[in-house]
Amino acid sequence: MARHPPLPARPAPTAPGTDRADRRLSPLAAALPARVPFVGPEALERAAGRPFSARLGANESLFGPSPLAVAAMAEAAGEAWKYGDPEGHDLRVSLAAHHGVAPANIVLGEGIDGLLGYLVRLYAGPGDAVVTSRGAYPTFDYHVAGFGAALHAVPYRDDREDAEALAEAAHRTGAKLVYLANPDNPMGSWQAPGVVSALLDALPRNALLILDEAYAEFAPAGAIPRLDVADTRLVRLRTFSKAYGLAGLRVGYALAHPSVIAGFERVRAHFGVGRVAQAGALAALGDPAHLDRVCRAVDEARGRIAGIAAAHGLHGLPSAANFVTVDCRSDGAFARRLLEALGRRGMFLRMPFVSPEDRCIRVTCAPEADLARFEAALGPALEEVRAAVDEGPARPA
């Protein structure tokens, strides 16, 4: 049997902005850096030549999906040759019943990331103003840049997104989109009751508020506002990636007025959510007992992480998500050194990107075995970093 010739080697990548190899790119695409918002743990493992011993950086659910979801996906795998229902009918009907709305209030998407891309494409053309928080979820910023819109960012206040500053920036710039995560990533903070409703009322008439509620299932009572899907100023985003433990499937959904939902039909990939993914999400939604167990385990793990941090002179910030953001009581340089030292000890973690929030590292909630590994690594890592800081730069002889 004849063998295919080997593929030619890929050319070495050049620095962002200097690649002139493909002149067919649009001017907008050619001006963008070739990057992804996050470097995946798999890439970091390949670079290090070894696997992580604890995967605590991506806010996945280490408590796993519902056994009912696993069984449903296994059964659906035999029909993976079929495309998924492009309307996602059964899952949308079940989600509508779960939330007490109509199926017309819901659209499925390839996780919240995919839905964010559709929203930016729908509402923000080249040069249009979009408002977010500086250091908030970077995938949203990635989509805004990708469609040529103008991103305006306001700083956090007291480690949470500043709703008043978002509204002021929206008026100042004439923003078409405003992004707010509640609970927030990367800080784990949440908005007090009434803040989101007040923000809606304070926005310009033609602005659309994107409310990212990826961590809603973990939030305390009162943190998630009861807002009417009849309000055309708002779109709410949910996911099966976090509490339901299905991050590998990429299933998210938007809740909004039917006129907002109908807009997605203009741009969405209608076969983007596959058959196996729909089956897994539908079964997960039908297992509230598993969801309750996961949320209780996350709450216990949040306390455990905070205790580990306190025992080492650090401070775990209050969290309404499935992670705890740990204040290193120093600055961004110290936190980055600590993250690197933990990485050398087999810990996959992340940290906020922007000062002053970058004084922190972020630890995903996990079963006790993983948190014990984190605890065992944290002390030596801190000793290494503190010794390096105390020693300071080498002095000339």
pLDDT in tens, 221-232: 889 998 789 999
CA angle 85, 37, 176 (to 5 degrees): 75
pLDDT range class, residue 392, cuts 50, 70, 90: low
Residues 246 and 223 in one domain: yes
Q: Is the pLDDT reported for residue 6 higher than 50? A: no
Domain enclosing residue 150, as ranges: 67-286
Residues 317 and 187 in one domain: no
Rounded distance between C-alpha atoms, residue 329 and residue 192, angstroms: 25
Is the separation of the CB atoms in 107 and 263 below 8 Å? no
- Provide the CATH number for the domain around residue 54: 3.90.1150.10
pLDDT value for 272: 96
Is the separation of the CB atoms in 367 and 55 below 8 Å? no
pLDDT value for 395: 43
Dmax (CA) of the chain: 75
Residues 266 and 345 in one domain: no
pLDDT value for 227: 78
Q: Give the least confident one: 18-22, 218-222, 320-324.
A: 18-22
pLDDT value for 250: 97
Within-domain flag for 350: yes
Higher pLDDT, 291 or 15: 291
pLDDT value for 393: 55
Tell which of 259, 286, 313 closes a domain: 286
Find the Cα–Cα–Cα–Cα dihedral 199, 225, 138, 277, rounded to 10°.
Answer: -150
pLDDT range class, residue 394, cuts 50, 70, 90: very low
Rounded distance between C-alpha atoms, residue 357 and residue 60, angstroms: 21
**Mean pLDDT of the residues in the chain:** 93
pLDDT value for 5: 41
SS3 labels along 179-214: EEECCCCCCCCCCCCCHHHHHHHHCCCCCEEEEECC
pLDDT range class, residue 39, cuts 50, 70, 90: confident
pLDDT value for 22: 85
Q: Is the pLDDT reported for residue 4 higher than 50? A: no
Rounded distance between C-alpha atoms, residue 232 and residue 229, angstroms: 7
SS3 96: helix
pLDDT value for 125: 94
pLDDT value for 229: 92
Is the separation of the CB atoms in 153 and 174 below 8 Å? no
Rounded distance between C-alpha atoms, residue 386 and residue 245, angstroms: 36
Residue type, 284: A
Q: Is the pLDDT reported for residue 18 higher than 60? A: no
Rounded distance between C-alpha atoms, residue 162 and residue 180, angstroms: 9
Residues 302 and 270 in one domain: no
Average pLDDT over residues 96-124: 97
Above pLDDT 90, what percent of the chain? Answer: 87
**Full DSSP string of 299-364:** HHHHHHHHHHHHHTT-EEPP-SSSEEEEE-SS-HHHHHHHHHHHHHTTEE-B--SSTTGGGEEEEE
pLDDT value for 37: 77
pLDDT range class, residue 23, cuts 50, 70, 90: confident
Rounded distance between C-alpha atoms, residue 209 and residue 189, angstroms: 19
Residue pLDDT, tens place only, 363-389: 999 999 999 999 999 999 999 999 988
Within-domain flag for 11: no
pLDDT value for 164: 97
pLDDT range class, residue 20, cuts 50, 70, 90: low
Residue pLDDT, tens place only, 44-87: 999 999 999 999 999 999 999 999 999 999 999 999 999 999 99
- Does residue 183 have a cis peptide bond before it, meaning omega lies within 30 degrees of 0? yes
Which residues are CB-neighbours of 243 under 8 A, at least 6 positions away? 61, 215, 217, 218, 291, 294, 295, 298, 322
Q: Is the pLDDT reported for residue 397 higher than 60? A: no
Residues 180 and 87 in one domain: yes
**Full DSSP string of 116-153:** HHHHHHHH--TT-EEEEETTS-HHHHHHHHHTTPEEEE
What are the structure tokens assigned to 272, written together?
């983007």
Within-domain flag for 226: yes
Rounded distance between C-alpha atoms, residue 105 and residue 257, angstroms: 6
pLDDT value for 21: 57
Within-domain flag for 373: yes
Q: Is 68 exposed, middle or buried (0-12, 13-18, 19+ CB in 10 A)?
A: middle
Is the separation of the CB atoms in 364 and 60 below 8 Å? yes
Residue pLDDT, tens place only, 158-171: 999 999 999 999 99
Neighbours of 11 (CB within 10 A): 8
Tell which of 286, 316, 336 closes a domain: 286
Residues 282 and 176 in one domain: yes
- Provide the CATH number for the domain around residue 222: 3.40.640.10
Is the separation of the CB atoms in 99 and 291 below 8 Å? no
Q: Give the least confident one: 225-239, 307-321, 360-374.
A: 225-239
DSSP-assigned beta bridge partners for residue 310: none
Question: How many structural domains is the chain composed of?
Answer: 2
Q: Look at strands 234-239 and 252-256 and give their pairing.
A: antiparallel
What are the structure tokens assigned to 137, written together?
């979820």
Tokens 């961590």 belong to residue: 215
Residue pLDDT, tens place only, 168-210: 999 999 999 999 999 999 999 999 989 999 999 999 999 999 9
pLDDT range class, residue 38, cuts 50, 70, 90: confident
Q: Give the least confident one: 12-21, 235-244, 306-315, 388-397.
A: 12-21
Is the separation of the CB atoms in 167 and 199 below 8 Å? yes
Q: Look at strands 315-316 and 323-327 and give their pairing.
A: antiparallel
Higher pLDDT, 14 or 184: 184
Tell which of 228, 262, 286 closes a domain: 286
